[in-house]
Amino acid sequence: MTKLIGDTKFINLPLFKKGKVRDVYELGDKLLLVVTDRISAFDVVFSNLIPNKGKVLNKLSEFWFDFTRDIVPNHMISTNISDFPKEIGSFKEELDGRAMLVKKAEMIEIECVVRGYLAGSGLKEYKQSGTVCGIRLPEGLVEGDKLPEPIFTPAHKAHTGHDENISQEQMENKVGKDLTEKIRDISLTLYEKAGKRAEAGGIILADTKFEFGIIDGQIVLADEIFTPDSSRFWHIDEYKPGGPQKSFDKQYIRDYLETADWDKNPPAPELPEHVIRNTELKYLEAYERITGTRI
Ligand SMILES: Nc1ncnc2c1ncn2[C@@H]1O[C@H](COP(=O)(O)OP(=O)(O)O)[C@@H](O)[C@H]1O
Ligand SMILES: [Mg+2]
């Protein structure tokens, strides 16, 4: 059984940021991103840990950063612990497979979402107004339908609370037209390439989210990419528009929580053992289907 890691206070480096899932350590012009086994849903972090989750997220991001480096440069330096600073030296077992040394970027505070299918907050908006992030879509679409073409639907990255969808124009007002257009084109190209790869493994990449940053004036892909935390991964074999899809991602936890007596405000409830185990299996299967290897 692999070691469960819920926090990484044992690392003797200054904390750059403690995210919901990742603990990020400061190394001057670099950062050490450590992916814990924490899980969050509806922006609330649970006290239960999901075995192997940190490794799946880290190694899947590593796979995709290699797979997409012809499209855009990314922040990854190494996931090999022998390349890590000596300060973490005595915690090789704890960190092996779950950490990435990256170039520190000045982050663009926009969640760059691409949607190829109708789900989540997109579906909600579509039902109300026939649009997703202000983009008009054909009438008569149902939950889970494939969109005529993938769309770029940015969101404002909220420091507290929930992210808020914005229009492309609002993004232009925040970061400029040129940067917005470049990021939109890169995001759509990334989605197209990764979507084909995922489909070969029997997974529909329904939507996904990127975070970009700037290093030396260049756009760099940062954070995590095409993980089950940042994307919707659906079973291709069981795909059936008209309702929710069977998935390999956090939707399983969200669906469970809808049946639990919880108002989605902290503290989060305890997750039952079978929900933890099923979540682990879904994350592992996503990894295996995409990479063709086991953790
Ligand atoms: N190369 C980078 N440079 C600076 N910040 C980064 C980089 N890559 C990721 N980050 C930031 O590190 C944090 C990762 O932790 P995470 O648990 O995902 O946080 P969140 O709760 O915001 O999702 C995010 O705030 C992300 O914006
Ligand atoms: Mg994150």
How far is ligand 2, taken at its centre, from the CA of residue 73, in Å? 19
pLDDT at 259: 92
Answer yes or no: is the C-beta of 22 below 6 A from any ligand 1 atom. yes
How far is ligand 1, taken at its centre, from the CA of residue 137, in Å? 32
For domain 107-263+287-291, is the CATH number 3.30.470.20? yes
How far is ligand 2, taken at its centre, from the CA of residue 20, in Å? 7
Answer yes or no: is the C-beta of 104 below 6 A from any ligand 1 atom. yes
Query: Which of 7, 24, 37, 78 should be mutated for ligand 1, with most atoms under 8 A from CB?
Result: 24
Percent of residues, the chain, with pLDDT higher than 90 = 89
The C-alpha angle with vertex 77 and arms to 56 and 68, in degrees rounded to 5, equals: 65
On the question of pLDDT at 92 being above 90, the answer is no
How far is ligand 1, taken at its centre, from the CA of residue 143, in Å? 30
pLDDT tens figures, 105-142: 999 999 999 999 999 999 999 999 999 989 999 999 99
> What architecture (CATH level 2) is domain 15-105?
2-Layer Sandwich (3.30)
What are the sequence ranges of the domains in the chain? 15-105, 107-263+287-291
Answer yes or no: is the C-beta of 31 below 6 A from any ligand 1 atom. yes
Q: What mean pLDDT is reported for the chain?
A: 95
**125 strand-pairing partners:** none
Q: How confident is the model at residue 88 (pLDDT cuts 50, 70, 90)?
A: confident
Determine whether 118 is exposed, middle or buried from the number of CB atoms within 10 Å of its CB (0-12, 13-18, 19+): buried
Q: How confident is the model at residue 160 (pLDDT cuts 50, 70, 90)?
A: low
- Say if CB 216 and CB 210 are below 8 A apart: no
On whether the pTM is more than 0.85, the answer is yes
Which positions ≥6 away from 215 have C-beta within 8 Å? Answer: 75, 103, 104, 105, 106
Q: Which ligand is nearest to the CA of 21?
A: 1
Nearest residue by C-alpha to atom 25 in ligand 1: 19
Whole-angstrom distance, CA of residue 175 vs CA of residue 171? 6
Q: What residue type is 112 in one-letter code?
A: C
How far is ligand 1, taken at its centre, from the CA of residue 104, in Å? 10
In 3D space, the residue among 111, 284, 81 whose CA is nearest the CA of residue 207 turns out to be 111
